[in-house]
Amino acid sequence: MSWPARPKLYPDELLSSWMTRLARANGLSLPDFWRIVNPDYSSRFVSVDRRASQPLLDVLASETGTSAERLKEALMISDEYFGQTFHRHRGWTRELRYCSSCFRDDREPYYRRAWQSPSAFLCPEHATWLTSRCLNCRASLRRETLPLEAATLATCSQCGAALVATAEPTPPPPSAERIRFLVLQKRMLRLTDLNMEHRFRSIVANPLQ
């Protein structure tokens, strides 16, 4: 039996972003949803974008009508492809980054895979800096504690503020330096994608190595 609400994956959407929307659409908190769908009790939701098991993907596929192959496209290929942030007390941790201008323009805000690459610093759409913090209270983003009454994923679970940029009548054009940085970033992302694709093909061809 499929779940009543089955939102589709958006272009370049992270698996964890889609799972959060799926849980909320069916009236479940993310922790409760995770306990229901995850057959591997040793795994954690914070790692699902990098280490989603095949049984988990099979459950999600059967309950939503989304193919397991499509769900795999929403994964990060490896830890190396996921940006890291240094915290004084916790050391290196992985945090989701986002573009507040994209969230403002989205019909329904969601997190992109491209934002999480260690080579990504600027949003290619708006040429604005990506961030992993609330614009209001500067807290880290925690979707696990996002209340069901929150309007969208673009909401801080700490203070409840919207993670969206304010609309500007005529936004200033990006500087020449920022445009040059964007060009360099695109080249770096292309190299990263090619390297990750090569590694992925090697793993598929030699699974026991």
- pLDDT per residue rounded down to tens, the chain (209 residues): 578 999 999 999 999 999 999 999 999 999 999 999 987 777 889 889 988 888 999 999 999 999 999 999 999 864 444 444 333 433 334 688 999 999 999 999 999 998 988 878 889 888 888 999 999 999 998 888 999 999 999 999 999 999 998 866 666 777 787 878 777 777 777 766 645 544 444 444 444 44
Q: How far apart are CA 151 and CA 55, in angstroms?
A: 31
Residue 87 neighbours by CB distance under 10 Å: 10
Task: Please choose, from the candidates 78, 51, 49, 99, the residue with its C-alpha nearest in 3D space to the C-alpha of residue 193.
Answer: 78
Which tokens in the block code for residue 152?
A: 């969208």
Contact 29, 36 (CB under 8 A): no
Integer angstrom CA distances of residue 74 from 2, 63, 116, 123, 171: 21, 17, 12, 19, 31
Classify burial at 1, counting beta carbons within 10 Å of its beta carbon; exposed 0-12, middle 13-18, buried 19 or more: exposed
pLDDT number for residue 80? 43
**For residue 15, what are its two tokens?**
């698996």
* Residue 34 to residue 48: CA distance in whole angstroms: 10
Which has the closest alpha carbon to 51: 42, 61, 63, 64?
Answer: 42
Q: Where are the domains of the chain?
A: 1-75, 96-209
